[in-house]
Amino acid sequence: MATRVLVVDDHRAILDLLQTMLGRQGFEVLTATTPSRALAILEQSVPDMLVLDIMLPERSGVELLEHIRADDRLAELPVLCMSSYVAGGAGEVVRKHSHGLVDKVRLSDVVDRVREIVGLA
């Protein structure tokens, strides 16, 4: 069975690119453009990993990350954060609650880190 990765980003082009790039690596990719859609997917089933943009509509990726870590069912879910910009205390939350932060301008780095985190590198 393929490793399932949920990618959350409000930019459809980035979602499409990551879905293609990760799909070529053998991952099953789920996508969400909003935190509320991501939570709906996570309520249905827990993927093997989450790739989370920090800058999102509705609520920030940092707030979503904190919500995920407070949920016993999701507390151990590997999360890789991505952003082209992280301000203020957001960086500290990301470092504390995720498996790292990558610059989403370099999507190949996102794919490499996903492979590393799930043990396929």
CATH number at residue 25: 3.40.50.2300
| Region of poorest pLDDT, from 21-30, 50-59, 61-70, 84-93 | 84-93
pLDDT of residue 58: 84
Q: Comparing 50 with 86, which gets the higher pLDDT?
A: 50
| Residue 33 CB neighbour total at 10 angstroms | 19
Q: Say what the pTM is.
A: 0.86
What is the span of the domain harbouring residue 64? 4-117
Domain count, the chain: 1
pLDDT of residue 7: 97
Whether 116 shows a pLDDT value over 70: the answer reads yes
Please state, in angstroms and rounded to a whole number, the distance separating the CA atoms of residues 84 and 82: 7
pLDDT digits (tens, 9 = 90+) for 74-83: 999 999 988 7
Q: Are 68 and 79 in contact (CB under 8 A)?
A: yes
